[in-house]
Structure 1
Amino acid sequence: MVRFTDQALSRRNFTVGAAGALALLGLSACGAAQTGASATASPSASKKDLAAAGASTITMWLDAERAPALKAVADKFKADTGIEVKLVIKDFAAVRDDFITQVPTGKGPDLIVGPHDWLGKFVQNGVISPLELGDKKGSFQDSAIRAMTFGGSVYGVPYAIENIGLIRNTALVDSASATLDDVVAKGQAAVTAGKAKYAFLVGLDPKQGDPYHLYPLQTSMGVQVFGVDSKGEYDPKQFALGAAGSADFAAKLKAWGDTGTKILNSNITGDIAKEKFLNGESPFYLTGPWNVPDMQKKGLKIAVDPLPTTGSKAAQPFIGVNGFYISSKSANALATNEFVVNYLTTEDVQDSMFKAGGRPPALKASFQKAAGDPIVKAFGDIGAQGVPMPAIAAMDSVWADWGSTELNIIKGQGGDPAAQWAKMADTIKGKIGA
């Protein structure tokens, strides 16, 4: 994950922690501008008001693939208000930390585009302003709004939702399955018939495994990462990786791993899994929409199936929501809010962002149009049942131990799986003070 691109926003770095327009009804920017004064945007704000409120240029940090999708709306905003929107291409590997470092100095941008799991760090460092959307939240997918909410406030305007699904090569297996056992049985039948080499594929990082992709298999056995508070937000005090069902899941990891059925193969990285699926070597591939374009270029006939269960509960994936955040130190908070809430939330813009990235749109009206594509609809339906990846700061202390423990168990190393899992849970609890 080295570039601030569509694909980069889709793959999680587990060692570091890694979706109708909205009328602007008295939207308040709770963060102060550089002058120290707060700004309130209004649908009646005139061109003169916006220009007089601060700088004549709004700067947005984003990636190269999204920039073309926003050029037209930036041009329209300038024509309407006289204020230029400068689109600045940034490197994904450094942009989050650069934003956190530069905003307090007044040298950061007015806006940044990024995934919702940056939210906790942004709020913790006071570098973004919340948005008061009121009943207009209903224009967006509920899961997208939940992902952009922290401490009871909405901090980002979402435009896309992404999550994994089970992609099936329909030339090798002609029907979906409800359980992982059935998926594996059909995959093995394809292998036995000489049609495939692997019953099932999912890529694993050679050092950190892949808790992100394996999460729905875990949640189906009743094991979440964190519980939620009365507002439905993740509560770091309710750390849940050691809950009932965790020992059973740990045992499953070993049974599926290198010393078992090899459904989870520690020697198959994400790139290798993709290559083998593109070559028709497996009927099933657990992955996200970021790999679909290459499958289509290859001419594969695919379907996106609901995530298979491994236990008595639904298989809930993490969902990632990409959106627009407003700097708490914007040089022209009034104009920035006007641009975000009255321009970036229109169907035209959200449709354009979908065409650029291929992710199911966060705006309901845009998703309804995009869902004419059965693959987009399938990923969207799966995501509607998913849970936002935790954006709380404590999550940064979870990934490394979680991933390395899963990998050891999959490799058949380290002794008793249940004991390893319990030790991992205790270690993380100590780190986050749960």
Structure 2
Amino acid sequence: MIKMLSKVALGLAVASSFIYAEEVKPEAGAKLKVWESEGPELKWIEYVGAEFNKKYGIKIETETVAMTETVQRLEQDGPVGTGADVIVMPHDRIGSGITSGVIMPNYISGERINTEFLVSAKNAVSWMDGQLYGFPLSIETYVMFYNKDLLPNGITTFENLKAWDKENKFTDKKQNKFGFVWEVINLYYGQAFLANQGGYLIGKNGTDKNDIGANNEGAVKGLVDMMSLKEISINNPGDINYDSMMGLFRDGKIATMLNGPWAIEGLRKAGVNFGIQKIPTLNGKALNPFSGIRILAVSSYTKYPKASQLFADFATSDEMLKKRYEMTKQIPPTKSITQLKEISSNEFVNPILEQAMTSTPMPSISEMGLFWDPLSSALNDVYLEKAEPKEALDKAVKVIKDQISLQN
């Protein structure tokens, strides 16, 4: 049985082993505070809290804190005893949470995460030595959206898309009509092209800051392939943003675009006849985009580590995750739930799930923040033909490495 230890001692004690939830008993008199964003996610957390209370007799208090702000807030509130015991956070903040010492490792049911969760979800919460930090709640990534009035059955390859565009004389840049649009200078989307021929941002599943593959031969080839799509897309990345892209798609002026599940409801309400699918292959290669995992993590400052870990484990049980899908429509990351008919047959869920299975979790080390601006600038310079792919990527990686050195 794990004893209540300091955050450092607890991390050392459980670094090489996991315990099943049924072997852990919550601390007497435990009561927990959980931070979650406002919306259906909060309603679900409240539901889980009520069910957890029925089983363990532990009261759960919820407080609304934006998911992207929970780690920073815990850094401030944890030391003075006013922070949450359990927080919801994006997986790419794990590195910051570990570095600042505000989240503790999982010591409950680690084997279940390793065997029963999707590989992308498991990798997202695995740290450098394979130790887990966080319990996955949902997974999301982006896919290809297509106008069914133009492409009733979608498209399988970008080469076919270009052929269709040419045959139908669809792209007319003066009229703001395009065969394919994406946020060119947003690295979140650009990573899929960088990785298409073997490039990568950070090695060892996104945890080794000293292994940067953003300017290797594969990354250069990926940007060359990306440039082949410019003929059916925008001329200047600055000419379009998310809102204008969505507007043009609604108006039937964009045949296909890269976008995520967050765009679905708005298009459905607008009455757009659209479908979604896995991203087409490019030059014979499947594009594997970034994925994001929403997770529960336990605070290092909690007075009730056993109860907190039990709650996180309980919340990510199949039963609770199935209820979460019903309440939030966010894709659960366990293999068994994704095979349920209501998920596998949903035309707006299954393609995202299929894409997520081969996606790359966004690197979670804190140094990832140093990659965005230099590589976004490189994407912009290449697309505007101000620099060759190799030149632009070499420059960006030099900037990144210099900034990493300054942090050490």
Q: Which residue of 2 aligns with 1:101?
A: 76
2:212 maps to what in 1?
239
Q: What stretches of structure 1 of length at least 5 have no aligned partner?
A: 1-25
Q: How many residues align?
A: 393
Residues 116 and 335 in structure 2, CA contact (< 8 A), matched pair in contact too: yes
* Match in the other structure for 2:137: 159
C-alpha separation between the residues in 2 aligned to 1:36 and 1:390? 21
Distance 1:221 1:45 in 2: 46
Pairing partner for 1:192 from 170, 173, 184: 170
1:360 maps to 331
Task: Please give the residue correspondences for 1:16-415 in structure 2 after superposition, counting only pairs within 5 Å.
Answer: 32=7, 43=22, 50-52=27-29, 56-65=30-39, 66-92=41-67, 94-132=69-107, 133-137=109-113, 138-151=115-128, 152-190=130-168, 192=170, 197-204=177-184, 209-228=185-204, 232=205, 234-252=207-225, 256-257=229-230, 262-263=233-234, 265-266=236-237, 267-341=239-313, 343-369=314-340, 370-413=343-386, 415=387
Deviation for aligned residue 1:191:
5.1
- Report if aligned partners of 1:202, 1:286 keep a CA contact under 8 Å in 2: yes
Kindly indicate whether structure 1 or structure 2 has the higher relative contact order, using CA contacts under 8 Å at least 6 residues apart: 1
| 1:385 aligned counterpart, secondary structure | coil
In structure 1, the residue corresponding to 2:63 is in which secondary structure?
Answer: strand
Seen in structure 2, the aligned counterparts of structure 1 residues 410 and 29 have a Cα distance that, compared at 3 Å, is farther
How far, CA to CA, are the matches of 1:365 and 1:299 in structure 2? 33
**CA distance in 2: counterparts of 1:68 and 1:249, whole angstroms:** 42
Q: Which runs of 5+ in 2 are unaligned?
A: none
Which letter does structure 1 place at the counterpart of 2:143? Answer: G
Is the 2:206–2:362 Cα contact (8 Å) retained in structure 1?
Answer: no
1:121 to partner: Cα distance: 0.7
The answer (yes or no) to whether the contact 1:318–1:388 under 8 Å persists in 2 is yes
Structure 1 pair 297–191 and aligned structure 2 pair: CA distance change class (3 A): farther
Match of 2:392 in 1: 420
> 1:58 offset after TM fit, Å?
0.6
Q: Secondary structure at the match of 1:106?
A: coil
Counterparts in 2 of 1:80 and 1:274: CA distance versus 1, 3 Å:
same
Deviations 1:85-120 (A, max 9, x none): 111101355433112232233321101111110111
Q: Supply the AA of the counterpart residue of 1:170.
A: K
Q: 1:293 to 1:196 in 2, by over 3 A?
A: same
Whole-angstrom distance in 1 between the partners of 2:163 and 2:148: 15
Q: Matched residues in 2 for 1:27 and 1:158: separation?
A: 22
Contact 2:200 2:219 in 1 (8 A): no
Identify the residue that residue 22 of structure 1 maps to in structure 2.
none
Partners of 1:328 and 1:210 lie apart in 2 by 34
Aligned-pair identity (%): 21
Range 264-273 or range 141-150, more displaced: 264-273
Displacement of 1:323 in angstroms is: 1.0
Distance 1:141 1:409 in 2: 35
2:315 counterpart SS class: coil
TM-score, with length taken from structure 2: 0.86
Give yes or no for contact 1:62–1:88 (8 Å, CA) kept in 2: yes
